[in-house]
Amino acid sequence: MNDVMIVSEHFLLSLAFAMSLFSIIASSKLTGAGFIKLSTSVAGGSALLALACHLRYASLQSPQAIFLSVYLVASVLIYAFHRDGKNIAMWILWLIQVLSALWAVVVFHNTNTEQIIWALSSAGLLGIVTYAMVLGHWYLVVPKLSEKPLVIATIVLWIIMVLKIGWTGIEVSENADFFTPDTTKGAGYSFNMILLIMRAAWGYLVVGIMSIFSWRLIRMRSIQSATGMLYAMTFFVLVGELMAQYMFFKYGVLF
């Protein structure tokens, strides 16, 4: 299977899952149904592209394709019928979204617990930054919206980053021979180190520093400036997670 396609499928699946999971941070009563439609469009579009990637090598009857199809149906219903307030039906559809995407991730990793935990943490980091960036843009539509959802999203980001950095540190120590000058693993010492440095510097260090500035801007209610910062953070997280996913699918290391 083409490495680029499998990384793309996993990336898109992760984004769909996390965008749906975090979509409840900002109350739809405060944002209005429009923001739910926007976030659902981003998540649903990611899931549709993930399904297209999956169907290049599997049938529509495969478990992962079925779960993604259920996810897409739930997304369409949410987009079509969600109102400003979330009623019981919308909560049920949200739960179906999250669980179907979760099981698609589980099936993707053949129920391997370690890989699933790694995948969910990666999805969480990618999803929370993307969600916060999209939410930041929505303040142009609803200027009086409280900054609390962005504050919560930033705290969630920091929690996930601490867990991710700890995970990466453990994996690096357990795979130290991957980064010795005489290693024959991966693509050689230099390339392995470049990937690790890019993963750590772009995906953790830069994002961590920028999140502090974003936090300060949010607390000052300079939302447009904070959104610009979140936009840049989304790019760096994307690069960092793509590096990590490439290293996993190409060499089997869970950084």
Considering only CA atoms, which of 127, 118, 103, 154 is closest in space to residue 16?
127
Inter-residue contact 231 to 153 (CB < 8 Å): no
Q: What is the percentage of the chain residues whose pLDDT exceeds 90?
A: 78
> What DSSP assignment string belongs to 9-32?
HHHHHHHHHHHHHHTTSS-HHHH-
Q: What is the spatial distance between Cα 40 and Cα 47, in angstroms, rounded to a whole number?
A: 10
Q: What is the spatial distance between Cα 169 and Cα 172, in angstroms, rounded to a whole number?
A: 5
Q: What is the spatial distance between Cα 50 and Cα 68, in angstroms, rounded to a whole number?
A: 8
* Residue 117, in any domain of the structure: no
In sequence order, which residues have a C-beta less than 8 Å from that of residue 99 and are 6 or more positions away?
A: none
Whether 1 has a pLDDT exceeding 70, the answer reads no
Inter-residue contact 166 to 173 (CB < 8 Å): no
Query: Could you say which of 60, 89, 108 is where a domain stops?
Result: 108
In sequence order, which residues have a C-beta less than 8 Å from that of residue 123 and are 6 or more positions away?
A: 13, 14, 15, 17, 18, 105
Average pLDDT of every residue of the chain: 93
Inter-residue contact 205 to 240 (CB < 8 Å): no
Q: What is the spatial distance between Cα 70 and Cα 168, in angstroms, rounded to a whole number?
A: 33
- Residue 184: other Cβ atoms inside 10 A: 9
pTM: 0.93
Whether 121 has a pLDDT exceeding 70, the answer reads yes
Query: Could you say which of 108, 124, 153 is where a domain stops?
Result: 108
Q: Is 91 found in the same domain as 19?
A: yes
Show the domain range for 1.
1-108
Q: Is 157 found in the same domain as 100?
A: no
* Residue 203, in any domain of the structure: yes
How many domains are there within the chain? 2
pLDDT computed for residue 57 by the predictor:
92
Inter-residue contact 93 to 74 (CB < 8 Å): yes
* Residue 135, in any domain of the structure: no
| 182 DSSP assignment | T
Q: Is 255 found in the same domain as 150?
A: yes
* Residue 87, in any domain of the structure: yes
* Residue 123, in any domain of the structure: no
Q: Is 75 found in the same domain as 163?
A: no
- Residue 98: other Cβ atoms inside 10 A: 19
For 80-106, how does the pLDDT look when each residue is reduced to its tens digit (9 = 90+)? 999 988 899 999 999 999 999 999 999
Q: What is the percentage of the chain residues whose pLDDT exceeds 70?
A: 100
Distance of CA 10 to the CA centre of its chain: 10
